[in-house]
């Protein structure tokens, strides 16, 4: 009981310190650094959304970028073609709702069609290519290969009374920060709920869970929609700090988020989130220092993690060997 209480207290203190650091970060950082961290936080939400279905449900989605891109494009298209007061809020709703509806249709066909495992991954990978083609073909709405631009500046506040541009670095940063905290809190609540325990049972042994009377396709569909709605939210948050293009919906983006989750630790939530921050920071750092070889370095790092630390960073920290080593290591003597 004492150990559990100490662990909970330590976790709470660590969370408060991290939130304080994030809240005060703009006070001692440049606008560039603030914008960079805002982007990393958005990618953290994206990685978190994948970990919910991959780490806790055993669903490997090789096309998760479809929903990130769908959120960004839905918001951008709404801002460009609909001119009404408070259009930003409508764009946010569509940016979250449209990916969720896509997930509902796609998930219904796949889960009730008993498509699972590697076959599910292959189908979602193929759908990524199809989504990319749809963006290119409908260039009048999406901008095609040139990307989507020229839309109304998104703003937050009370329409017609008090509004502030979402392009403001501080507004974009604090919006991403608040959404990150909210998404992490929601994800932890979800996986620790009765529904989350059912997800764990399905991940460990789907046949046994079905034998116990659980509607496997329905449960998978629900968590898939939740995950993709969160991915859509990350796409919405990306719009004020990035550029909407086909890269957001392509194979490379889907592969990247898989790397972030694997490096951080699949099935840990915080590991997936921190993994996204770490890998993107390394990419930014290495791309400046090693213009030609930075992708190779990141690739080698990922391979090393998969081979030697399959549980990711969190798995390494929780490793029994590491814990035993730290507990039994003799104190240094003078």
Q: What is the pLDDT of residues 249-294, one digit of tens each?
A: 988 899 899 989 998 888 899 999 999 999 898 888 877 766 666 6
What would the pLDDT profile of 222-243 be if each residue is shown by its tens digit?
Answer: 999 999 999 999 999 999 998 8
Long-range contacts of 164-170 (CB under 8 A, 24+ apart): 166/88, 166/239, 166/240, 167/240, 169/26, 169/31, 169/34, 169/35, 169/38, 170/26, 170/34
Helix axes 270-289, 31-54, angle to 10 degrees: 130
Q: From CA 199, how far away is CA 56, in angstroms rounded?
A: 6
Asked if 96 and 232 touch (Cβ cutoff 8 Å), the reply is yes
Q: Give counts: helices (H), strands (E), the chain.
A: 15, 2
What would the pLDDT profile of 69-82 be if each residue is shown by its tens digit?
Answer: 999 999 999 999 98
DSSP letters, 135-182, are HHHTHHHH-GGG-B--PPPPEEEETTTEEEETTSHHHHHHHHHHHHHH
How distant is the alpha carbon of residue 267 from its chain centre? 13
Question: What is the per-residue pLDDT for 333?
Answer: 44
Q: From CA 179, how far away is CA 181, in angstroms rounded?
A: 5
Helix axes 117-137, 251-264, angle to 10 degrees: 140
User: Is the pLDDT reported for residue 331 higher than 50?
Assistant: no
How distant is the alpha carbon of residue 68 from its chain centre? 8
Question: What is the per-residue pLDDT for 332?
Answer: 45
Q: From CA 272, how far away is CA 143, in angstroms rounded?
A: 32
Q: How confident is the model at residue 329 (pLDDT cuts 50, 70, 90)?
A: low
Q: What mean pLDDT value characterizes the chain?
A: 87
Q: From CA 203, how far away is CA 213, in angstroms rounded?
A: 15
Q: How confident is the model at residue 157 (pLDDT cuts 50, 70, 90)?
A: confident
Give 155's strand partners.
165
For residues 198 and 299, the model is more confident at 198
Q: From CA 227, how far away is CA 41, in angstroms rounded?
A: 17
Could you tell me what percent of the chain has a pLDDT over 90? 51
Question: What is the per-residue pLDDT for 7?
Answer: 67
Asked if 197 and 204 touch (Cβ cutoff 8 Å), the reply is no
The candidate with the shortest Cα–Cα distance to 54, out of 322, 243, 312, 332, is: 312
Asked if 13 and 147 touch (Cβ cutoff 8 Å), the reply is no
């Amino acid at each position: 009981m004492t150990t559990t209480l100490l662990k909970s207290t330590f976790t709470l203190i660590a969370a408060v310190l991290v939130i304080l650091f994030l809240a005060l970060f703009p006070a001692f950082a440049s606008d560039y650094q603030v914008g960079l961290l805002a982007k990393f936080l958005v990618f953290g939400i994206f990685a978190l959304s994948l970990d919910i279905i991959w780490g806790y449900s055993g669903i490997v989605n090789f096309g998760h970028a479809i929903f990130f891109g769908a959120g960004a494009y839905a918001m951008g298209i709404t801002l460009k073609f609909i001119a009404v007061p408070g259009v930003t809020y409508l764009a946010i709703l569509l940016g979250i709702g449209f990916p969720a509806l896509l997930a509902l249709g796609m998930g219904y066909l796949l889960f009730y069609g008993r498509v699972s495992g590697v076959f599910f991954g292959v189908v979602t990978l193929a759908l990524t290519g199809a989504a990319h083609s749809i963006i290119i073909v409908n260039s009048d709405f999406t901008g095609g290969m040139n990307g989507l631009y020229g839309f109304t500046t998104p703003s937050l506040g009370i329409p017609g009374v008090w509004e502030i541009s979402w392009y403001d670095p501080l507004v974009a940063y604090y919006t991403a920060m608040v959404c990150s905290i909210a998404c992490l809190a929601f994800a932890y609540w979800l996986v620790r709920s009765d529904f989350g325990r059912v997800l764990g049972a399905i991940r460990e042994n789907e046949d046994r869970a079905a034998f116990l009377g659980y509607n496997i396709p329905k449960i998978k569909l629900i968590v898939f929609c939740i995950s993709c709605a969160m991915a859509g939210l990350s796409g919405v948050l990306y719009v004020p700090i990035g550029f909407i293009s086909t890269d957001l919906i392509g194979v490379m983006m889907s592969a990247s988020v898989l790397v972030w989750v694997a490096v951080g630790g699949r099935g840990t939530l915080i590991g997936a989130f921190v993994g996204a921050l770490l890998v993107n920071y390394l990419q930014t750092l290495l791309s400046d220092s090693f213009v030609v070889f930075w992708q190779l370095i990141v690739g080698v790092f990922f391979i090393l993690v998969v081979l030697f630390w399959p549980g990711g960073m969190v798995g390494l920290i929780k490793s029994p060997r590491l814990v035993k080593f730290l507990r039994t290591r003799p104190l240094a003597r003078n």
